[in-house]
Structure 1
Amino acid sequence: MENWNGLDLLKWLGPDSATSVFNYLLHPADLVRATAVSTSWRQFLIENGFSKRLCTKLCPEVSFFTSIKEITTGTGTGTTPLDESSSTLKWRNNEMYHKIYTYLSQLLVSTEATKSCISYTIGASSTDNYPEESIDNTFEPSEKINSRASYWSSCGQVDPTVPESLTYQLTHNVVFVDAIRIQPFRAFFQYGAPIYSSMFVQFKLGYTKQLIPVSLFKRNQCLDLIADENYVWTYISPQFPMQQENVSQSFELPRRILCIGGVVKVELLGRVQKQDTDNLYYICICHVKVRGRKLPQCKLSPLLVVDVSKIAGGGGAVLKYNPMA
């Protein structure tokens, strides 16, 4: 409660001790309840940016939003920076920050179901037989299409430690990613039906340093742009062991990751299976599925719009807020 024996606990604790206490809030619902206690509690929490602190704690990727702008026109194109030139506007802006970061925090802890969110393929680190064994085959959940095997295959290697990677563009520029599912390929047409899995898998999420026309990716003309130096990875996962089994294996991320830029790179580390015909190690993948959810949108009046048009040039992502939504 706000008062204890007639005392305002916030004033009794003082700003430093109160800040230490409120920093222990771990759920956006707790923060919302705290702001509802009294006017003084609400003012203290909003002025000191506790919603942003909590949101950043839940998801460090929100720090890649370099600015927040308010949508001021009905079309959603006109924006104005949040001005802090006066105390009145500063409070208004702080309140707006509070609403935005509380909303993002609620999305991060939401239990709403996620879905597949890969839009198209960017490229693979190598391909044994193109286009028959290209990365595009990993869209299909089945290992057969019209009696033809459907899978991506790397080139063969003498060294089993040589890694491979598959890079994808998601359906939206900003996606909350929960997990990635991968199914190694079982070569049913080879003796013993060997499974060409990797030993480990790791994931990188981020954006390209330069904007590339989608048409080039779809034509597989940008395979030289899959190198790490062409991307900014805002999140790199731990390594997960992959089972040498012909099943869809789910790799749950430690937390819900905000993928700003919509690029996911699947790194396949270590080879376990040789091909008898050439005695070389291969990695073959039947299916890849990135599970996540986009920012909730209303066609007429979206609450939040993320502008990533300048992020490739180092300008950062701009978060636009529509107070009329």
Structure 2
Amino acid sequence: MEACMDFLQYLETDMVLKIFKCLDDLGDIVRSSIVSRNWRDFVIASGLSKQMCVGLFPQLANVEHVSEPDSKTTTLNHVGSSKSMEWEILKRDHKVYASLLQVLTKLISSPIECIAEAISASSTDNIPDESIVNTLDPRDRYPRRGSYWSSRGHQDPSVPETLIYKLKADLCVITEIYIQPFEAFFEPGFPIYSAKSVRFRMGHPKSQIQIENDLAFLPLQQPADNKFIWTYTSEEFAMTHEYRLQQFKLPQPVLCIGGYLQIELLGMVQRSEINDLFYICVSHVKALGRPLSPAFHSEILQPCGKFLLKYYPDALNHTLQNSSKEPETLPRLTSDELLWRHGLLRYMVGRNQQDNDALNSDNDENEMDQSIL
């Protein structure tokens, strides 16, 4: 015991950091801070928890500063630069990033559906029957019609199309995305209107107030890409010309800051025999990952584009408990229910009385819908 010594006292700071970063269990970074006062001071002063978080999720490098609402340390960033105040800020940052590290490492092991609602499509062939909202229902057909989104027809098959979705929280870790092309069961030969490849972007609105005003009547029926700042862009993934739910797993989990996902569909492969134009049609989309709410939220700082990381310690246990739940499944909503949610049910008014009478009187089809739900 007399021969024991603390290597922190004999090694250069860079070498100590390299040693700590070799720990297999990221939780050991947090545990090391309680080994001794000397270790604790080193972990806090070096910002090791933040470095590990940024190493896992480079998007966190854009954190301007962190805050703990309703805490005494919230105002520390605006207080004088005395050593005591600087140390309190370092301690607060260590606590926030250590908690974030704990959440991140636990949540990504059990992903759930993270899409909350459809926002816009770059084009839509037939509004609202072929609206983007249909892609949130796992079914691709109903007794009288299909359930899918369709682009407009193009003579040039290289025209890209985009779909934009809002996620369940402004901070979400996304691990994989699924897309199912639509098979036109009502056309000769059952053509599949897939894309050649896909690419994914994540980010936040240029103006939160503006986007809320624009989306008063969801979803937007015109391109909205220029209303967002995309802070992450994936590689291009090949899509197979097959009627199935296709998985696109990201090389590394991505932290979406701002809560918006764009799916870019590149290259059209199927031409319609009806009008000899190219289309892309999608029946279902889902994004798997984990929202970090209610323990963590973000606030975009304009115009620099960096963000404020907000931490709510009282909600930490709730967020961690959610990580142990079984993966969620999408609600089995009918297409009409989805359209109602987005303020588009007005299209029903234009249907003729014969269709309405058939809808109300057709008990067999109503029972079929109920059995699917």
- The TM-score by the shorter chain falls in which range? 0.7 to 0.9
Tell me how far 1:22 sits from its aligned partner: 2.8
- For the residues of structure 2 that align with 1:55 and 1:295, how far apart are their CA atoms? 14
Deviating more after overlay: 247-256 vs 180-189: 247-256
1:258 counterpart letter in structure 2: L
Alignment correspondent of 1:319:
309
Alignment correspondent of 1:105:
101
Deviating more after overlay: 315-324 vs 200-209: 315-324
**Number of equivalences:** 312
Give structure 2 stretches of 5+ with no counterpart.
Answer: 316-373
Alignment correspondent of 1:301:
none
* CA offset digits 1:206-257 (Å, max 9, x no partner): 0010123546426257444512x42211211111111211111121112221
Tell me how far 1:191 sits from its aligned partner: 0.8
Deviating more after overlay: 91-100 vs 213-222: 213-222
- For the residues of structure 1 that align with 2:187 and 2:143, how far apart are their CA atoms? 18
Cα 1:84/1:93, change in 2 over 3 Å: farther
Instruction: Please tell me whether the aligned partners of residues 70 and 81 of structure 1 are also in contact (alpha carbons under 8 angstroms).
Output: no
Cα 1:221/1:40, change in 2 over 3 Å: closer
Root-mean-square deviation (CA), in Å?
Answer: 2.6
Deviating more after overlay: 274-283 vs 215-224: 215-224
Tell me how far 1:307 sits from its aligned partner: 4.3
Cα 1:247/1:89, change in 2 over 3 Å: same
Alignment correspondent of 1:92:
88
Say yes or no: does 1:281 pair with 2:278: yes
Q: How does 1:236-275 map to 2 (within 5 A)?
A: 236-275=233-272
Tell me how far 1:323 sits from its aligned partner: 5.5
Instruction: Please tell me whether the aligned partners of residues 123 and 223 of structure 2 are also in contact (alpha carbons under 8 angstroms).
Output: no
**TM-score with structure 1 length normalisation?**
0.86
- For the residues of structure 1 that align with 2:11 and 2:2, how far apart are their CA atoms? 12
2:311 counterpart letter in structure 1: Y
3-state SS of the aligned residue for 1:149?
coil
3-state SS of the aligned residue for 1:155?
coil
**TM-score with structure 2 length normalisation?**
0.76
Tell me how far 1:93 sits from its aligned partner: 2.0
Alignment correspondent of 1:117:
114
Say yes or no: does 1:49 pair with 2:39: no
Picking from 167, 172, 175, the partner of 2:169 is: 172
- For the residues of structure 1 that align with 2:216 and 2:150, how far apart are their CA atoms? 18
3-state SS of the aligned residue for 1:148?
coil
Alignment correspondent of 2:191:
194
Alignment correspondent of 1:35:
33
Deviating more after overlay: 312-321 vs 179-188: 312-321
Tell me how far 1:15 sits from its aligned partner: 2.1
- For the residues of structure 2 that align with 1:5 and 1:14, how far apart are their CA atoms? 21
3-state SS of the aligned residue for 1:319?
strand
- For the residues of structure 2 that align with 1:274 and 1:171, how far apart are their CA atoms? 35
Tell me how far 1:6 sits from its aligned partner: 3.4
* CA offset digits 1:29-55 (Å, max 9, x no partner): 231243333321221121011111110
- For the residues of structure 2 that align with 1:217 and 1:317, how far apart are their CA atoms? 23
- For the residues of structure 2 that align with 1:171 and 1:187, how far apart are their CA atoms? 31
3-state SS of the aligned residue for 2:203?
strand
Alignment correspondent of 1:80:
75
Q: How does 1:226-241 map to 2 (within 5 A)?
A: 226-227=224-225, 229-241=226-238
* CA offset digits 1:139-176 (Å, max 9, x no partner): 11111133310111111222222111101111222212
Alignment correspondent of 1:300:
none
Instruction: Please tell me whether the aligned partners of residues 122 and 162 of structure 2 are also in contact (alpha carbons under 8 angstroms).
Output: yes
1:6 counterpart letter in structure 2: C
* CA offset digits 1:240-294 (Å, max 9, x no partner): 1112111111211122211111110000011111111222211100011122222
Picking from 8, 15, 29, the partner of 1:17 is: 15
Instruction: Please tell me whether the aligned partners of residues 120 and 218 of structure 1 are also in contact (alpha carbons under 8 angstroms).
Output: no
- For the residues of structure 2 that align with 1:288 and 1:221, how far apart are their CA atoms? 16
* CA offset digits 1:44-83 (Å, max 9, x no partner): 1210111111100100111232221232369xxx942445
Instruction: Please tell me whether the aligned partners of residues 84 and 93 of structure 1 are also in contact (alpha carbons under 8 angstroms).
Output: no
Cα 1:195/1:312, change in 2 over 3 Å: farther
- For the residues of structure 1 that align with 2:219 and 2:137, how far apart are their CA atoms? 22
3-state SS of the aligned residue for 2:235?
coil
- For the residues of structure 1 that align with 2:314 and 2:176, how far apart are their CA atoms? 34
1:56 counterpart letter in structure 2: V
Alignment correspondent of 2:138:
141
Alignment correspondent of 2:335:
none
